[in-house]
Amino acid sequence: MKTQDGHIINISSISGIAPSAGWSIYGAAKHAVIGLTEVLADDIRHLGIKVTLVAPGVFRTNFNNPDSLVLSQRKIDAYSEVRSQQKKFAAKSGTQIGDPAKAAEVMMEIAGMAQPPLYLLLGSDAYARAFARLDLLSSTYKEWEVLTKSTDFSA
């Protein structure tokens, strides 16, 4: 079979790996991008096409500015904690740790790599959140190992 050449870079978010309160729909959508990217990489590897999933943390863009971030106007008392988390996030506009110009440079760098990463976190905040999530998953899976394995057919 004739092989092709190329590199697909899908942009997800650290929220797809380690979602936070107030952003369930966003986290779910970004998690879907991760799943799609993982399987896509397997599906097209034989064609010589590379795939990278980029999961940035918070970057100093207009993402959480009032002209970009659209939140529900209807306020339901039961969701006051969610609304509070969203307001805290919006209030951090202009102080995010991530530099978008540096992120663009890194993406250009990986686009030219012969062996680029399948997974790439961007930002120290993304790195910390991803490893906290890994620790949580590991401890939870181990805690419930007996129950998990109890569903196998007996030998």
Q: What is the CATH number of the domain that holds 131?
A: 3.40.50.720
Q: Looking at residue 31, what is its pLDDT? A: 96
CA dist., res. 124 & res. 55, Å (int): 11
Q: Looking at residue 98, what is its pLDDT? A: 85
Q: Looking at residue 22, what is its pLDDT? A: 77
Q: Looking at residue 94, what is its pLDDT? A: 67
Question: Residue 79 is encoded by which pair of tokens?
Answer: 């969701």
Residue type, 105: E
**pTM for this prediction:** 0.83
Side-chain-side CA neighbours of residue 8 (13 Å):
19
- Give the per-residue SS3 of 133-145: HHHHHHHHHHHCH
Cβ atoms 12, 33 nearer than 8 A = yes
Cβ atoms 55, 103 nearer than 8 A = no
* Number of domains the chain is built from: 1
Does 147 reside within a domain? Answer: no
Does 28 reside within a domain? Answer: yes
Strand pairing class (6-11; 119-122) = unpaired
Does 146 reside within a domain? Answer: no
Does 48 reside within a domain? Answer: yes
Q: Looking at residue 80, what is its pLDDT? A: 75
Does 153 reside within a domain? Answer: no
- Residue range(s) defining the domain that contains residue 17: 6-138
Distances (CA, A) of 59 to 13, 40, 88, 93, 107: 11, 26, 15, 9, 14
Per-residue pLDDT of the chain (155 residues; tens, 9 = 90+): 556 789 999 999 999 999 987 788 889 999 999 999 999 999 999 999 999 999 999 878 777 667 776 667 788 777 777 777 777 766 677 677 888 999 999 999 999 999 999 999 999 999 999 999 999 999 999 999 999 999 999 87
Q: Looking at residue 3, what is its pLDDT? A: 61
Q: Looking at residue 60, what is its pLDDT? A: 81
Does 148 reside within a domain? Answer: no
